[in-house]
Amino acid sequence: MKRLFAEGDVQRQVRRLAREISRDFAGREVLLVGILKGAFIFMADLARRVAFPVKMDFVRLASYGGGTESFGKVRITKDLETSLQGKDVLIVEDIIDTGVTLKYLFRRLKARRPRSLKSVVLLDKPSRRKVRFQPDYVGFTIEDHFVVGYGLDFNEEYRNLPGIYVLK
């Protein structure tokens, strides 16, 4: 493995994102919607740093495509337990590459009539985008590497690494 971002780099980006999000949602309560499993560490750190009250819920998605590609059919395997109607909602995701999964979730959640719906991703791989989707907040833009750590895994391993690493 090769280190891409040290723990301190990651935490600086989380603090920066928290400041931007806090400014944009000032005075409002926000529902953070984490995408399991990868976003749980990022969401926990972000939730502790924003300057407004939060509620949290989680969704889990499965996508079916060829091999390691995630541009097939997407379905929700664990749905939210919270109503979104009239709420300010922020989708929290670890990484966006093809954009298919996040665009699908955004469309599904928008249909539940939230007051506002935005997204934050820690890592963005725009070179892999298959559909048009631009997150509202981005921590790092990276090249097309397979990365692990800080919630990101390979076969359920490496999630607990405090930094982000390129898996060779």
Question: For residue 105, is it within any domain?
Answer: yes
Question: Average pLDDT of the chain?
Answer: 93
CA atoms of 58 and 41, how far apart (whole Å): 12
CA atoms of 92 and 143, how far apart (whole Å): 20
CA atoms of 21 and 74, how far apart (whole Å): 28
Question: For residue 63, is it within any domain?
Answer: yes
Which is the catalytic residue, given 57, 97, 124, 136?
A: 97
**Nearest residue to 18 (alpha-carbon basis) of 120, 102, 133, 160:** 120
* pLDDT at position 131: 92
Question: For residue 94, is it within any domain?
Answer: yes
Does residue 41 sit in helix, strand or coil?
Answer: helix
* pLDDT at position 63: 76
* pLDDT at position 72: 63
**Which residues of the chain fall short of a pLDDT of 70?**
64-72
- In the residue annotation, 97 being an active-site residue is answered as yes
Question: What residues make up the domain containing 28?
Answer: 2-143
Count of structural domains, the chain = 1
CA angle, 111 as apex, 136 and 90 as ends, to 5°?
30
Asked if 57 and 80 touch (Cβ cutoff 8 Å), the reply is yes
* pLDDT at position 64: 58
CA atoms of 143 and 83, how far apart (whole Å): 36
CA atoms of 32 and 80, how far apart (whole Å): 11
pLDDT tens per residue across span 135-168: 999 999 999 999 999 999 999 999 999 999 999 8
**Nearest residue to 97 (alpha-carbon basis) of 152, 56, 32:** 152
* pLDDT at position 68: 46
* pLDDT at position 58: 98
* pLDDT at position 74: 87
Asked if 90 and 33 touch (Cβ cutoff 8 Å), the reply is yes
CATH number of the structural domain spanning residue 19: 3.40.50.2020
